Structure 1
Amino acid sequence: MRILMVTAGSRGDVEPFAALARRAAASGHDVRLAAPDRSGVDLTGIDVRSLGVDFSAMIESQGVSPLAAMRNLRQVVRPVMRGVIVNAAHAAREFRPDVIVSHPKVLSAPLIADALGIPHVLVELVPAVTPTREFPAAGTVTRSLGPFNPLTYRAASAAGAMFGREVGEAADVMGVKRPRRSSAPAATLLPISPAILSRPRDWPESVVLTGAWRSPVTDAAAPADAAASPDPAVDAFVRGGPFVYAGFGSMAAGDPVARGRALVDAARARGLRLLVATGLGGIVVPDDLRGDDVFMTGSVDHAAVLPHAVAAVHHGGIGTVQAAMTAGTVSIVVPFIADQPFWGALLHRQGLGPAAIPQRKLSADRLAAAFAEAPTYAAAVRSAAERMSQEDGTGTALRVLELSRSAERLEPRR
């Protein structure tokens, strides 16, 4: 089977697709991954087609503020989204897949599938597209609105409507008229562990909570100590005694120096060393606070580092949430935007971590209190990690893709 996977966004949006691409290729399928440039994900051994866009550059230039995104819609956001939407169509015309698997930002994927007469499988990286009465869409509000929860899922379709012109360009590439309504996905996959998110009872059967998608090298089935950091200096620090990990990935809003100072002061107050992954600049440790108990690096292999950490301070993206949970490490979530407050609130509600600390309210005192509280959640996190070790997320997803291909092929649109 020829599988075209198309994703859009930063590292957390690309990494799961890379894991599924590797699993599908290892199972004998012909797989191509169309992805943004400079995601920071190791794509070695994968047939990759560039979408010609750079989300990291966009984040570096304007940060992660939704208001900044709206202000720069024409100059920055729209050109990037055009690259995703239109180049996905070019990738499909070149590859001629039997099925297309796409990120929700790839707004052209449904019309591409209809134009080729193939199934389309949506990958809902966070629960923000398929409505449910059980909780609001991730990225909207963190408290349940009861019977009004389904209304929060309209935000995704409203955002998509902003790029109708670009979708029309993709239709031109495919040689079809832009349809008023495209076919629904043959299936929707959520690469999320049921140990973290319980499947809503009102989701359709076509919506599958698969479990996390991990590449074989970071498979949770391997012993935690089996992974060694590729950086000898990081590895030496990790094995030098108790430490806290801190990293905010591509989140760089606010005052990174103040965050660095709060992290160092809180760790020292609890007698802990600190390993900092600076990412795109979300944490800066001032020179006067540096010492042998603080190690700074650009990024780390979560599978190599997190199993050894006593706690992980991070922004609460689902990729990092699942990496920490897989490692059996308590998360201290400092959410910035989008779905991050959703995961921070969910972990605390389920007894899997301290209450989230919004990045604007981050302080040494709050962090130190969270460090002190973290051990009380350790047993519950280890139990969740054991459940996750039994999951085969990419295997489950691949079986769904194979079943979608076996369904009756559609007639291509003219």
Structure 2
Amino acid sequence: MKIAIAAWGTTGDVYPLLALSERLLRRNHHIRICAPTLYKDKIIDIGADYYEVGVAFDLVEFHHTMDTMISMRDPMATLLIVAKEGILRRGEKWHYDCLEAMKGYDLVICHSVDIPAQEAAIKNGIPWLTVTYCPGFIKTPDNPPYPFPNWNRTFNSIIWKLVRLRLKYSVDPLFNQFIVSVGGKPRAFMASDEIYSPYMNLIAASPSICPPANLTPNHEYTGVWHFAQPDYTPPSELTEFLADGTPPIVITFGSMGGSDGKETTEILVEAIKMTDQRAIIQAGWGLLGTQEVIPNIYCTEYVPHRWLFPQARCVVHHGGAGTTASVCRAKVPSVVVPHIGDQFYWGKLLYDLGVAPKSLPRRKLTPERLAQRINRVMSTPAMTERAKTIGIQIASEDGLATAVDLIESFPLSQQ
């Protein structure tokens, strides 16, 4: 099968798609990945056909947008920023690049919010599947949207109706205006229902940790898609730091951050000093860390999660879907510092599962508050024991195998 995959977003959005591509390539499918140049080398490394789409990534611009979103309390306001700045502002070029890249392919796979790529597939007459990493945004009476409590199905249904109405009159007009501008047909209840493929939406999340729910037939749980990095050789300074004392706290905010990495680093360092723990701080897109030599703290560039997290006593992270899954798989507890979007959902989920204290939103981050949560984990052995149990459950899943089986069984001839 010839499959075109549109890889939109940050590393947390793109790397699972690279993992899926790698597994499909092993099954002798032809894979073309449409992505910005930021991911070109990774795509070529796995052996897929790379097709450049969109515009160059601007880190400074990204940080300024992050600053705006971090300060917002209303999730809907954040969603509007993501729609305007992250998806639609350069959506026309993304759409037309994808339109050309997809010609002659049998199937398209794209993110559930990648409206430009979805419309390109529709215009080309190609069946399209979507991928989502957060089941918490999928409407079901079994679970309410974040942050509402799960009282009962009637309450959940009422809340979902209110959310649908708010989306219909805030986000939907933006998406539909874009769709019409590229010659497509407007969609009803766009942001709540019709961002997902009517054929199949693959939920790349672990059913071991996500609340059970009866979803409509187009939604299929697969399990997490872990991107297997090449064999990693750590620098000697890192291995010496790990061997020189007790297991450290690992701190990573991935592709989150904001424009002031120095200020964030100072908060993190002060919090670690207050807990009397050792720590490893990963730079990430937020450029965290310092050149200053600080006792018991090691600052580094990216280190593969699969290698690093199992050696941690606890991981302080932003609550991205992929990072959350990696921490759970590593069998260690979390402290979640959500910045935007679904990160609040994952933070609450880990708290409900008993493997993390209550989340600490980035806009409320202080040394005292972070230290308090780290100390809570250190003084609660049950969190570590519960994390070990969940890690064993996730280890039994093979989300990529499930996803590939679903894709290969998709009836192209009937579409």
TM-score bin (small chain):
0.7 to 0.9
* Structure 2 residue aligned with 1:195: 208
Q: What are the within-5 Å matches in structure 2 for residues 391-402 of structure 1? A: 391-402=397-408
* Structure 2 residue aligned with 1:381: 387
Following superposition, the deviation at residue 42 of structure 1 comes to 3.2
* Structure 2 residue aligned with 1:326: 329
Question: What residue ranges of structure 2 are gaps of 5+ in the alignment?
Answer: 188-193
Q: Which amino acid aligns with 2:134?
A: V
**Cα distance in 2 for residues equivalent to 1:53 and 1:235:** 38
Deviations 1:120-166 (A, max 9, x none): 1110122365311233446xx35456233423356666535414454
Deviates more, 1:376-385 or 1:158-167: 158-167
* Structure 2 residue aligned with 1:294: 297
Kindly indicate whether the alpha-carbon contact (under 8 Å) linking 2:179 and 2:185 is maintained by their aligned counterparts in 1.
no
Identity of aligned residues (%): 25
Question: What residue ranges of structure 1 are gaps of 5+ in the alignment?
Answer: 172-177, 219-226
* Structure 2 residue aligned with 1:340: 343
Following superposition, the deviation at residue 253 of structure 1 comes to 3.4
Kindly indicate whether the alpha-carbon contact (under 8 Å) linking 1:329 and 1:378 is maintained by their aligned counterparts in 2.
yes
Q: What are the within-5 Å matches in structure 2 for residues 248-263 of structure 1? A: 248-253=253-258, 256-263=261-268
Deviates more, 1:6-15 or 1:61-70: 61-70
Q: What are the within-5 Å matches in structure 2 for residues 128-143 of structure 1? A: 129-137=137-145, 141=147, 143=149
Which of 73, 93, 99 matches 1:89? 99
Following superposition, the deviation at residue 403 of structure 1 comes to 1.5
**Cα distance in 1 for residues equivalent to 2:164 and 2:136:** 6
**Cα distance in 1 for residues equivalent to 2:18 and 2:225:** 9
Q: Name the SS for the 1:105 alignment partner.
A: coil
Shift of the 19–208 alpha-carbon distance from structure 1 to 2, 3 Å rule, reads same
* Structure 1 residue aligned with 2:50: 48
Following superposition, the deviation at residue 361 of structure 1 comes to 2.3
Shift of the 204–41 alpha-carbon distance from structure 1 to 2, 3 Å rule, reads farther
Following superposition, the deviation at residue 2 of structure 1 comes to 0.8
Q: What are the within-5 Å matches in structure 2 for residues 15-164 of structure 1? A: 15-38=15-38, 42-43=42-43, 44-45=45-46, 46-55=48-57, 57=59, 58-66=61-69, 78-93=88-103, 96-127=104-135, 129-137=137-145, 141=147, 143-144=149-150, 146-151=156-161, 152=163, 159=171, 161-164=173-176
Kindly indicate whether the alpha-carbon contact (under 8 Å) linking 2:337 and 2:362 is maintained by their aligned counterparts in 1.
yes
* Structure 2 residue aligned with 1:306: 309
**Cα distance in 1 for residues equivalent to 2:218 and 2:25:** 24
Q: Which amino acid aligns with 1:398?
A: V
Kindly indicate whether the alpha-carbon contact (under 8 Å) linking 2:5 and 2:110 is maintained by their aligned counterparts in 1.
yes
Q: What are the within-5 Å matches in structure 2 for residues 229-308 of structure 1? A: 229-241=233-245, 242-253=247-258, 256-281=261-286, 283-285=288-290, 287=292, 290-308=293-311
**Cα distance in 1 for residues equivalent to 2:83 and 2:207:** 36
Equivalent pairs counted in the alignment come to 388
Kindly indicate whether the alpha-carbon contact (under 8 Å) linking 1:250 and 1:282 is maintained by their aligned counterparts in 2.
no
Deviates more, 1:237-246 or 1:3-12: 237-246
Deviations 1:347-393 (A, max 9, x none): 10121211111122223332223222224311111111111111111
Calculate the TM-score normalised by the size of structure 1: 0.83
Deviates more, 1:276-285 or 1:119-128: 276-285
**Cα distance in 2 for residues equivalent to 1:259 and 1:212:** 30
Q: Name the SS for the 2:251 alignment partner.
A: strand
**Cα distance in 2 for residues equivalent to 1:16 and 1:49:** 18
2:378 is the counterpart of 1:365: no
Following superposition, the deviation at residue 38 of structure 1 comes to 2.0
Q: Name the SS for the 1:189 alignment partner.
A: strand
Shift of the 280–163 alpha-carbon distance from structure 1 to 2, 3 Å rule, reads same
| RMSD (Å), alpha carbons | 3.1
Q: Which amino acid aligns with 2:133?
A: L
Q: Name the SS for the 2:328 alignment partner.
A: helix
Following superposition, the deviation at residue 217 of structure 1 comes to 4.4
Following superposition, the deviation at residue 24 of structure 1 comes to 0.3
